[in-house]
Amino acid sequence: MPSPIELANDLQVEITNVDQARRPRKKPQAEVDLDNLAAQLQDLQQQSKRFLASHHYRNSYASSSGAGSDDGSDVPSLEVPPTLTGSGISTPSGDNVPRTPSNLSTLTTYFPTTPSGKPLSGSGRLRSPSPLGAGESSAPELQVPAAIAEEDTRPTSAQIFELAGRRVSSDSVYSQDQHARTQQQQHHGRPPRRPRSASLSVLQDTIDPRPQSCRRSSFDDVFDRAELASWFRSATPERRLQLPGTPVPYRPGHDRRHLSKDEIEVIGADGLPVSTPSKAKRKKLQKKRRPSPEKPHAQESSSQESKGSLWSHAKESFVATYCPVEAPPLILPSGPTDFEKTLYLKTNRLGLYTFGVFSFLSLSVGMWLFVISFVAFYWFGAIVFLLQIYLLISYTVSICGKDYDISKHHKILEENPVDPLTCPTVDIYLPCCKEPIEVLENTYKYVKQLQYPVPRLKVYVLDDGASDAVRSMAQQYGYNYILREDRPRLKKAGNLRWAFARTEGDFFAIFDADFCPRPDFLQEIIPIHLAKPDTAIVQTPQFFRTSADQSWVEQGAGAVQELFYRVVQINRNRFGASICVGSNAVYRRAALEEVGGTAEIGFSEDVHTGFYAVNRGWKVRYLPLCLACGICPDTPRAFFSQQMRWCMGSTTLLTNMDFWRSKLNPIQKICYLSGMMYYSAISLSIFMNPIPGVLMLWCRPQYVRYYNLAFAVPSIIYSIIAIRCWSKARYGFNVQFVMVIQSYAYLTAIKDRLFGRALAWVPSGDTKAHKNNKYRNMRILAWCWMTTVMGAVIAGTTYQILRGLPWYDCLPLIVLDVFNLFLAHRFLLWSGNI
């Protein structure tokens, strides 16, 4: 609601009160009072030049001279406003002041002067309670507002507002209490907030020290606009003032601010219907109340904005997934929980391998039927034979294996406790090379919590990155810092051998830069070394926690490792053929002293270290307790580099004559051989999957039948559904996506090994070191191969259907190729420069 001054400024044009003009009504008492008040003002303008104000609750605003009034009374006088003094208007005094009607006895008197005698502006009037109508008052009077124009003897609208003051009408439609409750309901239980100008609020608080609860209500609660309009029509018709229409009283659930003029006329000033509207009027009102439909151009604009937002969202999602410019958020690992510690104890191998053998036999039958279908397909039999040899070895070892006996391990812990006085000394090796400082600090924090006698434990930070920050952080944690002089010879292996020659612990443990051990890590492993002196290495799983916050590469790379550490390593452990994977293992110094430490090779030194230790007569034992947790590469490029490095190390061992001349028994050699054949089989699967269908479609279309898919269905179910039900990790399509990257990484490593090209080793944590051309070249190869396959399938299908081949016989082949394209699309499209 606008302020009184704003209303006064608006009262300058013709009255257009349609509802008041059309129907006569009886004047309410408030309008009669205003008419009487206007007449009194006309008489008041002709009297004396000064006036008296005998009742005011703050005498500090009165004249300090103490002069009495003209009639000799002792009533203290106030200063006459300058505008009134110079206007030639006489002011009343004493009993000559005209009386106000009885229902206006609660009006307040306005004193528009400051202590200095200057008039106040319209927005800052001084308010004080009036004693009009009180029994104690002997000379009640009414004060005239300050600014009365000399050229116009008629009262202005501002003067009307000044003299009327504030009141609560006794004949209003709603009482003040009911009005307050209604306002509170419309404001959801909170008292309504009336807009007030800042100047009025500050000045009112300065002049009137009473609390807000003691002051009168606002202007809107005092006047009825219809009454003011009636007064202006009768008293000053020549001014032709215009007032807004009669407001409809507030009622619960009824907001009158949005009602039209016709609706106000029908409802009436008192909120009740005054007449029954005509049929045309009712239709008009119903039409107004209906929600207006959007304009065509507005709908078009909204549709364009929606399309634009959908397109922008799709584009941003595509760029974030396939063309990121920033590395994914770094999620630091923590030590495995008690629940995660025992996740790999039960392999649940029976159901998994039963279905696996069935899918293997089914796929083998289909492959051999393809080979013998045409003499030109015999060459494919060599690839099928290698695949079957690998699967036969793998399934044989798995079926003959058995779960780890954890009860024997508990017995070893009881019989060989870690004595603080006699326990062996242990060194902790923490090799690093340009990994993020946050990752290193997280690892150092968990290493600090290892439960082992402090005098028997030393920690060494092996920094191949020559970082001052790493040196400072190592000193803060109390660790020994080692920076070798022959960097970067033999990469990580050279770093470990340098530290081995300068330390003297009975045992040493290795943690990669991202692995966080549990506090009981040494308490679980050292007793095994004490109980079995022929043990060179005790290896534990590399556990990777998967969560929804990780990138799709991290989720897939972490889940794909579970099968190896949960089943394969346990199976090999029965035959003494478990391999060393470097991190999360405890090494016996005596077993490596004769060779100067770890294997002297730049790729996969961990596998070679374990192999040579077994060849010298030592044992590599596997403990399937998750005692440390790490993080996987988070980008396809980093994962590609890691897998290529692992494959290079294993294929190097396979082509090494030391392996074939070793003292390992046949079963141990078969276990090592199956591990190395795994890389070859996965890399060959790139070509093995689509070739049979394409050749059959073009060369032997008479054998293309929809039921040929039955040979491949068990393998698809095994890889997508069976393993997913068996896995403890988040095993979804992300695993299939990263397995495509694995295939091309292994293919690159095997190609480089065959052509004698060395692979430059880079640490997994160094994100800047993975930007090599090998990843780009493999993506180009993948694009060319997938385009060729899809083109051959589409062209062959179209050609054979035109020749009369039923379309449903070609449908399974198209579905399989589309599915392979879906699995490869992440590798094909991802081109982030990170």
Residue 375: predicted pLDDT = 92
Q: Give dist(CA 649, CA 582) in Å, integer.
A: 12
In-domain check, residue 154? yes
CB distance 443 to 516 below 8 Å: yes
Contacts 24+ apart (CB under 8 A), 714-718: 714/355, 714/358, 714/359, 714/362, 714/363, 715/359, 715/360, 715/362, 715/363, 717/355, 717/359, 718/355, 718/356, 718/359
Structure tokens at 274: 């005054």
Q: For 342-422, where are the alpha helices, taking DSSP H only?
A: 349-372, 380-400, 406-415
Q: Give dist(CA 188, CA 172) in Å, integer.
A: 24
Average pLDDT over the chain reads 76
Q: For the residues of 389-400, what is the DSSP string, one character each?
A: HHHHHHHHHHHH
In-domain check, residue 282? no
Q: Indicate if 593 and 694 belong to the same structural domain.
A: no
Structure tokens at 586: 């405890």
Examine the pLDDT at 569 and tell me if it is beyond 60: yes
Examine the pLDDT at 158 and tell me if it is beyond 60: no
Helices and strands: H and E segment counts in the chain = 33, 12
Residue 762: predicted pLDDT = 54
Q: Indicate if 560 and 689 belong to the same structural domain.
A: no
Encode pLDDT of 325-338 as tens digits. 888 888 999 999 99
Read off the DSSP letter of residue 95. Answer: G
Q: Indicate if 393 and 433 belong to the same structural domain.
A: no
CB distance 216 to 166 below 8 Å: yes
Residue 247: predicted pLDDT = 47
Q: Indicate if 192 and 83 belong to the same structural domain.
A: yes
Nearest to 627 by CA among 587, 591, 586, 571: 586
Q: Give dist(CA 477, CA 571) in Å, integer.
A: 40
Amino acid identity of residue 760, one-letter, is A
Domain boundary among 249, 267, 291: 249
What is the percent of the chain with per-residue pLDDT over 90, rounded to a whole number? Answer: 46
5 contacts: CB under 8 Å, gap ≥ 6: 122, 123, 158
Average pLDDT over residues 787-796: 95
In-domain check, residue 327? no
Residue 97: predicted pLDDT = 42
Encode pLDDT of 295-328 as tens digits. 455 555 555 555 567 888 888 888 888 888 888 8
In-domain check, residue 291? no
In-domain check, residue 102? yes
CA atoms within 13 A on the CB side of 556: 23
Q: Which residue has the higher pLDDT, 50 or 719?
A: 719
CA atoms within 13 A on the CB side of 231: 25
Q: Indicate if 479 and 563 belong to the same structural domain.
A: yes
Which of 131-135, 242-246, 621-625, 715-719 has the least mean pLDDT?
A: 131-135
Domain boundary among 198, 227, 249: 249
Examine the pLDDT at 702 and tell me if it is beyond 50: yes
Residue 287: predicted pLDDT = 53
Average pLDDT over residues 165-175: 44
CB distance 467 to 430 below 8 Å: no
Encode pLDDT of 526-538 as tens digits. 999 999 999 999 9
Which of 27-31, 120-124, 561-565, 731-735 has the least mean pLDDT?
A: 120-124
Q: Give dist(CA 555, CA 467) in Å, integer.
A: 30
Q: Give dist(CA 463, CA 477) in Å, integer.
A: 15
Residue 199: predicted pLDDT = 45
Examine the pLDDT at 132 and tell me if it is beyond 60: no
Nearest to 14 by CA among 301, 312, 244: 244
Q: Give dist(CA 367, CA 192) in Å, integer.
A: 82
In-domain check, residue 38? yes
Q: Give dist(CA 400, CA 687) in Å, integer.
A: 31
Q: For the residues of 686-743, what is the DSSP string, one character each?
A: HHHTTHHHHHHHHH-GGG--GGGGGGTHHHHHIIIIIHHHH-SS--SHHHHHHHHHHH
- The separation between CA 824 and the C-alpha centre of its own chain, rounded to angstroms, equals 28
Burial class (CB in 10 A: 0-12, 13-18, 19+), 316: exposed
pLDDT class of 58 with cuts at 50, 70, 90: very low
Domain assignment of residue 59, given as a range: 4-249
Q: Indicate if 465 and 518 belong to the same structural domain.
A: yes
Which residues face 649 on adjacent strands? none
Residue 33: predicted pLDDT = 76
* Domains held by the chain: number: 3
Residue 675: predicted pLDDT = 83
Domain boundary among 218, 233, 249: 249
Q: Which residue has the higher pLDDT, 528 or 239?
A: 528
Residue 64: predicted pLDDT = 41
Measure the CA angle with vertex 496, ends 491 and 502; round to 5°: 135
Q: Indicate if 389 and 427 belong to the same structural domain.
A: no
Cβ neighbour number for residue 574 with a 10 Å cutoff: 17
In-domain check, residue 737? yes
Q: What's 514's domain CATH number?
A: 3.90.550.10
Amino acid identity of residue 425, one-letter, is T
Q: Indicate if 566 and 712 belong to the same structural domain.
A: no
pLDDT class of 401 with cuts at 50, 70, 90: confident
In-domain check, residue 639? no
Q: Indicate if 64 and 185 belong to the same structural domain.
A: yes
Q: Give dist(CA 805, CA 439) in Å, integer.
A: 60
pLDDT class of 283 with cuts at 50, 70, 90: low
Residue 336: predicted pLDDT = 96
Q: Indicate if 418 and 392 belong to the same structural domain.
A: no
Q: Indicate if 374 and 459 belong to the same structural domain.
A: no
CB distance 119 to 112 below 8 Å: yes
Counted residue by residue, the chain has a size of 834
Residue 496: predicted pLDDT = 96
Q: Indicate if 146 and 185 belong to the same structural domain.
A: yes
Q: Which residue has the higher pLDDT, 321 or 816?
A: 816
